[in-house]
Amino acid sequence: MKIIYTANIPEVRKQDACYRDSFLGVISGATSIEIDDDFPDADLVDQAYAFLGAQPLTATVSVGLTPELQAVLDEAKAECEKIQAENADLISDLKAALDAKDQFQAKLTETEGQLSVVQAENTELKAKVTEFEKAVVKKPTAAELKAAKAAEEAKAAEQQPQE
């Protein structure tokens, strides 16, 4: 039996241990002892059990897996492998999407550069058209010529004396 010497015995206790808050002597059925740092007579307890050759023991417990537990573990492992495969697919898809984004960004940058060139050419052409329109003498249309001739004739008719 494990004996635990402590100044503060917990409310929830280990089932395979005997708790003591004072040292009254060596317990003969002790298989191991544990002395908390807060225990006031720690040195005395340690000396008493060392004198009898009862040193704290370390036990290794091996627990076998039940078929039900093994089935749960196998299912969890299969699910984990499935998720890892899905994760790998998603990472691959993400890399492809990022590559496509980079290609699109490069095309967009190139197109923006071409647009700037076209806009500059458009501005230059507009300026040349305006300059050309100012430089070219406008030829009057037939209607404008007829109206001008009628105006001249009316003016000439006014200037002639009336008989």
CA–CA dist 137, 82 (Å, integer):
82
Coil, strand or helix at 51: helix
Please write the tens of the pLDDT for every residue from 83-103: 999 999 999 999 999 999 999
The residue type at 154: A
Residue 58 pLDDT level (bands cut at 50, 70, 90):
very low
CA–CA dist 155, 148 (Å, integer):
11
Residue 107 pLDDT level (bands cut at 50, 70, 90):
very high
Residue 2 pLDDT level (bands cut at 50, 70, 90):
confident
Cα(first)–Cα(last) distance of the chain, in Å?
156
CA–CA dist 24, 39 (Å, integer):
13
Residue 59 pLDDT level (bands cut at 50, 70, 90):
very low
CA distance to 29, 32, 35, 96, 130, per residue, from 58 (Å): 16, 8, 14, 55, 101
CA distance to 1, 8, 24, 30, 123, per residue, from 11 (Å): 19, 9, 22, 22, 89
pLDDT given at position 51:
61
Please write the tens of the pLDDT for every residue from 126-143: 999 988 887 776 777 888
Residues in the chain: 163
Q: Are 35 and 56 in contact (CB under 8 A)?
A: no
Determine how many CB atoms are found less than 10 A away from the CB of residue 35: 20
pLDDT given at position 41:
79
pLDDT given at position 42:
82
pLDDT above 70 (res 67) = yes
pLDDT given at position 10:
84
CA–CA dist 9, 133 (Å, integer):
106
